[in-house]
Amino acid sequence: MDSRYEIKRMAGGGGSANASPALGGQSRRRKMPPRPADYKLQMIIIGSRGVGKTSLMERFTDDTFCEACKSTVGVDFKIKTVELRGKKIRLQIWDTAGQERFNSITSAYYRGAKGIVLVYDITKQETFDDLPKWMKMIDKYASEEAELLLVGNKLDCETDRIVTKQTAERASLLFQTSLLFQASLLFQASLLFQTSLLFQTSLLFQTSLLFQTSLLFQTSLL
């Protein structure tokens, strides 16, 4: 899913009637401006401190992994353009601080989000126990139309797992999930696919084919 769009036009040489006489029939290349996005969507990544929100954003946008990420202060964002069903979608991804003291700053970014990714760490019970607190934030600040994606991260640390898949499934139901989606996302490609799926549903929603879903999946960003 390459975001860049480039048309290379060969002039002259091939006997084109439009070839510039000044170039003496030599071939030349002209870069066209990128095709504008058909849709612009904002998504926000929330969850407790250290669950891997920044890592998720970095993995999704740049396919990189930071072993020792600095804790996010306030908010940060990155842009990624994806193509779905021939439509170009520009995603603005907001990465928020997990520390509670930043809630007054981060809450301002919920409203415009079409997709909310709520992350917990499968090896840290407290990050799972915090989910109702994050759901309250969503209820209070987010749009009712926003899609919710629940992500259990650090699947590569299976031996240290505390939060079972069944427990997470129950929580997902509690959060009014209409479609449950689970996967092991050891590879970026599947992460990309499934994150795109979230926005596919948002896109459907936007085109007023009412189709709401919440998804649960578990990842490793290593």
**Minimum CB separation from ligand GTP for residue 217, in Å?**
12
Candidates 19, 41, 97, 148: give the one binding ligand GTP (CB under 6 A): 97
Q: Which range of residues in 21-29, 104-112, 149-157, 172-180 is near ligand GTP by CB under 6 A?
A: 149-157
Q: Write the CA distances from 142 to 48, 69, 79, 156, integer angstroms.
A: 17, 27, 20, 31
Q: Is 152 in the site for ligand GTP (CB under 6 A)?
A: no
Assess 192 for contact with ligand GTP (CB under 6 A): no
Residue nearest to ligand GTP (CB): 98
> Given the complex with ligand GTP, which of 81 and 103 has the nearer CB atom?
103
* Stretch binding ligand GTP (CB under 6 A), from 45-53, 79-87, 144-152, 164-172: 45-53
User: Is 186 among the residues that bind ligand GTP (CB under 6 A)?
Assistant: no
Would you count residue 2 as binding ligand GTP (CB under 6 A)? no
Q: Is 54 in the site for ligand GTP (CB under 6 A)?
A: yes
> Quick check: 55 binds ligand GTP (CB under 6 A)?
yes
Closest to ligand GTP by CB, 98 vs 115, is: 98
